[in-house]
Amino acid sequence: MENIRCLIADIPQVILADIMQKLTEDNNGTEVVERVSDLNDLPLTIKNKSINVLILGMQNNVFPQICEDVLINAPELLVVGLVNDGRRAAIYMDDVGKNDITNIIGTMGRRCSK
């Protein structure tokens, strides 16, 4: 089974980006293949590096327009947005199917029911 390939982008707090990289790499089967600070680099990096997951810094709970642009060319991409200091996250997926929804509910629902 191939590793899940992650890209960390536009997280202005270096320490938060470092923490996210460490957490991601500590998860077996997951690797951070690159970190970028310029959102304009996203489309080419995602294409050239075969990225599966984009971990993205967000301001004020709003995904940047570039996310929609990127997902047009990579609809299978999972975007995890970290809001401000990283204590809030949002998930953005395109072409979501019933299995995706049930997996998200099953996985995250267990966390919320504790």
CATH number at 53 reads 3.40.50.2300
pTM score: 0.85
Two structure tokens written together for 78: 């999972």
- CA-CA distance, 72 to 77, in Å (whole number)? 10
Measured distance CA(15)–CA(4) in Å, rounded: 22
Average model confidence (pLDDT) across the chain: 85
Range of the domain at 61: 4-112
Residue written as token pair 């294409």: 47
> How many structural domains is the chain composed of?
1
Burial class (CB in 10 A: 0-12, 13-18, 19+), 10: buried
**pLDDT (average), residues 46-63:** 88
Rounded percentage of the chain residues whose pLDDT exceeds 90: 24
Confidence of residue 53 (pLDDT cuts 50, 70, 90): very high
Identify the residue with better confidence: 65 or 31: 31
